[in-house]
Amino acid sequence: MNLRRLSLLILILLTMTLAGPSQARAADAKSLSPNGVVDFASKLARDHRNLFSPEKRADLGALNRELRTAQQALRQARTDEARNAAVARGAAAAEQLLATVRACERIIRLDLTRPQPVLVQLKPYEVPGDTGVLLFEVVTGANELTYGTTNFDFEELPEFALPAPLVVSSNGTTYFLIGLEHVPAGRTSFLFEISQQPGQTPVRHLMELTTPVPGRLKLTVVADDTGKPVPAMVQLLWQVDGRVHQPGNGIEFAPQFESLGSPTGARKANLPGPLNEAFWCMPGPVDMPLSPGQWRIGARRGVEYEAVFEDITVRSGETVARELKPRRWVDMRKRGWWSGDDHVHCRILSDEDAQRLMAWVKAEDIHLANVVKMGDIYRTFFEQRGFGPAYRVVDGQFTLVPGQECPRTHEQIGHTLAMNITSMVRNPDRYFLYDEVFDAVHAQGGLSGYAHGNSGIFSVHRDMSLNVPRQKVDFIEILQFNELGTELYYDFLNLGCKLTASAGSDVPWGGTIGEVRAYAFLGKKSFTADAWFDAFRRGRTFTTSGPMLEFSVDQALPGDELKITSDRQLRIRARAWGDPKHMSPVKLEIMRHGNIIRSAESQDPKRPEVQLDFTVPAGHGCWIAARARAGDGTSAHTTPVYVVREGFRFWKLEGLDELIAKRLASLLEIEQLVTEARHPQKEVEFRGIVDQKQLVNQGGALLERVTQARKLYEELRETARKERAAGRAVDR
């Protein structure tokens, strides 16, 4: 630290020293009495409820809300009357809390008014496992009542070191909660100090803890249809500390995530309710020691299964054996639909890497995972052993297929994905010319698409404006992190551009593989990666994070082109349904050119299912899709059926000028990027140096593409003019 910074630090510390006491007084005037009661009640209600019986726990929750409400009222009080009312409300709750705490059977009483205060322990204090809590009543006099909380983490406590002293009232009674973490197994002695005032010589006490003999859990998750053990996402939640513990064979994916995203095997799905808490991938049965007490064990296997949870009691020295069977509420395979995740980041450099990832996709019931090597203009991440069929990993009806997420530019023109490639396509010297990558991917027989189309982040609209009308791109992610976003999607469909709806979890940034997924319709074909890609290439997909969809226009399925020669009635049939236990109600909407033309919502809470069957006139052509939203906040969306009338595009003529204007504005943004990069005075952050240098180098080629795209949009305008005229003639 240089001298200037040191001076600044001293100045601030000095100011703080002078200002400190008055701030403390001001804060006290807004705090409930006794001191620390709100924090104490909160910790007791949330973290240390196990000190009390179940009945008392509910009371503690109510007392916490009451104290918090009184605290808030006190802080906002503008009159003495309001202030007094808040204080009285808080005092009443505090009194109840005190009675509850005093009656706690596990309280440790320490009287410091005696000449030689000592903590007498007849036997070691038993904590329930590697976490626990000590509740102290420390008496130093008769004047005041205070509350305090702290934590001792034995993992952070060096050998022979003492925790910082507990500071208690100098003349009164202090109730203290000490949260204990990482308590060693067996018997543990440790010293701690109690001080009545900061700076005063503390009194030392010896505390002995012991942990109980553990029990054992033998847990197997079995398939609903075969009854055989299967990989599953498993949660072991110890009710005592409210935390999820790793199963003994729970897979730690951190090394394969290369410290990126959320680099841990504890996966919190972007899904509703308890699924949003951590689950571990458990590849098979486990037999492991567990601390005694109440546990909640849970297992889930992706969206087609209902997650199951069971509360168990583990007793010292005893074994609990459980078999969990997540119930399948739908089998989309039998309907010809097979699940995939287009966006999985995970290093695969060995068979062991592959086995671990395979266990995960099986646990989440994802039949095809596009495992993408990620790149940017600087480097690549998530290395793969190779690309193409030889490097696919196949295990029964599950396949890992190496793909790529590259090119990716964050501040410029967006992120792209490729599936089913035979080699990675990346050239930093041509990095901004995404069309070259799309062409190369297609030449390999692969599929090109855009990532994050649901949120539109990373300015993906810019490259979409360049390359979607040029038919360079096959798909776009419209569902990610359980967020369905269709603004960009609808804009391009309304321009008459075909795009297949897709979804990807984006782990390790996303929660878990398959939390959003794309289903491809294989019909009666057997599942293979090639069959899945063929179906996907035809656009026969829908995306979902929960509800399922079936949709047809006449006999056409999503992605199909329905050719018509004149205006006629089209029969639309759609069905949306969800897990009866969690997804009610389900709402189904039929979208035509981005507008809802028909919707229905399920009425029976036990049967979240709704169907529509109706006809609409084809007009001059259109796109029609179905989307669904379930009561738990999950959603689904199909790729459209493209109704193409002879002589017309399937676009939305009404409002076309505004749509084209948006695209032209996006092209202007690309031009500005190049202009700014070329500006000699442009100040560039260090991290942007290569981007800017390459933008200068590639700017000319990029601008050529902008010119081509502009021409295309002009042609579209001309086509629209002709279609309007033709439409009027046909209508007459």
Partner 1 sequence: MKEFKTLIFSRARSGAVCSILTLLAAGLLGPQLPTAAHGLLATYVQHGVRLKVGAEHIDLTLDLTFFEEPSARERTVMDADANGHITRSEVDAYLKKLAPEMLKQVKLSVAGHEVPLIPLYDPEIDLSSDQMIATAHHRLRLYFFAATPVGLGTDDEILIEDQLWPETKSLGTPQAEGSDGCTMLPEISIRSNAAAATVRESRRFKFRCVKPPIPKSAAAANAHSPRTLQPKPATP
Give strand pairing partners of 237: 244, 296
Q: Does 39 bind partner 1 (CB under 8 A)?
A: yes
Judged by CB under 8 A, the stretch of 39-47, 104-112, 215-223, 611-619 that binds partner 1 is 39-47
Q: Are 381 and 345 in contact (CB under 8 A)?
A: yes
Contact mark string toward partner 1, 9..28, x via CB under 8 A: x--xx--x--xxx-xx--xx
- Our CB check for partner 1 shows the closer of 65 and 216 to be 65
Options 86, 93, 110, 488; binder of partner 1; rule CB under 8 A? 488
Measured from the CB atom, the residue of 68 and 333 that comes closer to partner 1 is 68
Residue type for position 228:
K
HSE-up (13 A, CA, CB side) for residue 300: 25
3-state DSSP call for residue 601? strand
Is residue 453 at the binding interface for partner 1, with CB under 8 A as the rule? Answer: yes
* Choices 32-40, 299-307, 330-338, 547-555; region in contact with partner 1 by CB under 8 A: 32-40
Residue with Cβ nearer partner 1 (116 or 259)? 259
| Interface segment toward partner 1; rule CB under 8 A; list 41-49, 325-333, 353-361, 423-431 | 41-49
Rounded to whole angstroms, the Cα distance separating 679 from 444 reads: 38
The three-class DSSP label of residue 242 is: coil
Whole-angstrom Cα distance, residue 599 to residue 626? 10
> Residue 429 interacts with partner 1 (CB under 8 A)?
no
DSSP 35-47: BTHHHHHHHHHHT
Site for partner 1 in 163-222 (CB under 8 A): 163-167
Upstream peptide bond of 34 is cis (omega within 30 degrees of 0):
yes
Task: Give, as ranges, the residues between 73 and 132 that touch partner 1 (CB under 8 A).
Answer: none
State the minimum distance, in angstroms, from the CB of residue 68 to partner 1. Answer: 5
CB of 214 to partner 1, least distance (A): 23
Contact 452, 414 (CB under 8 A): yes
Q: Which of 637, 272, 639 is nearest to 485 (CA)?
A: 637
The region of 145-153, 212-220, 311-319, 531-539 touching partner 1 under the rule CB under 8 A is 145-153
Label each residue of 122-135 as H, E or C: CCCEECCCCCEEEE
| Beta carbons within 10 angstroms of residue 591's beta carbon | 22
Q: By CB under 8 A, tell whether 264 contacts partner 1.
A: yes
Using CA atoms, how far residue 147 sits from 49, 219, 462, 522, in Å, is 17, 42, 58, 65
- 215/449 with CB nearer partner 1: 449
In the complex, the smallest distance separating the C-beta of residue 367 from partner 1, rounded to whole angstroms, is 24
Query: Under rule CB under 8 A, how many of the chain's residues touch partner 1?
Result: 93
Between residue 307 and residue 336, which ones bind partner 1 under the rule CB under 8 A? none
629 contributes a contact to partner 1 by CB under 8 A: yes
Backbone angles phi, psi at 362, to 5 degrees: -70, -40
The residue type at 607: R
| List 52, 86, 94, 152, residue binding partner 1 (CB under 8 A) | 152
Nearer to partner 1, 166 or 221 (CB): 166
Stretch that binds partner 1, among 117-125, 130-138, 146-154, 350-358 (CB under 8 A): 146-154
- By the rule CB under 8 A, 732 interacts with partner 1: no
Which of 622, 643, 633 lies closest to 562 in space, CA to CA?
A: 643
Stretch that binds partner 1, among 121-129, 149-157, 417-425, 497-505 (CB under 8 A): 149-157
Instruction: List binders of partner 1 among 344-383 (CB under 8 A).
Output: 345, 374, 376, 378
Which residues make beta-bridge pairs with 479?
A: 484, 503
Distances (CA, A) of 629 to 515, 559, 708: 15, 21, 39
Establish if 260 lies at the interface with partner 1 (CB under 8 A). Answer: yes
CA 182 to chain centre: 28
What is the rounded distance in angstroms from the CA atom of residue 299 to the CA atom of residue 197?
50
Other C-beta atoms lying within 10 Å of the C-beta of residue 197: 11
Decide if residue 593 touches partner 1 (CB under 8 A): no
How far is it, in rounded angstroms, from Cα 455 to Cα 414? 11
Binding track over 494-533 against partner 1, x by CB under 8 A: ------------x--x------------------------
Are the beta carbons of 329 and 245 closer than 8 angstroms?
no
Judged by CB under 8 A, the stretch of 233-241, 264-272, 661-669, 712-720 that binds partner 1 is 264-272
Least distance to partner 1 from the beta carbon of 627, Å? Answer: 8
When the beta carbons of 251 and 522 are compared against partner 1, the nearer one is: 251
Show contacts with partner 1 in window 388-427 (CB under 8 A): 405, 408, 410, 415
The type of residue at 590 is I
Q: Which stretch binds partner 1 (CB under 8 A): 153-161, 213-221, 324-332, 565-573?
A: 153-161
DSSP string, 368-408: EEEEEEEE-SS-EES-BS--SGGG-EEETTEEEEEEEE-SE
As a residue count, the chain comes to 732
Q: Is 543 in the site for partner 1 (CB under 8 A)?
A: no
Q: How far is the CB of 156 from partner 1 (least distance, A)?
A: 6
Of 49, 245, 347, 627, the one binding partner 1 (CB under 8 A) is 627
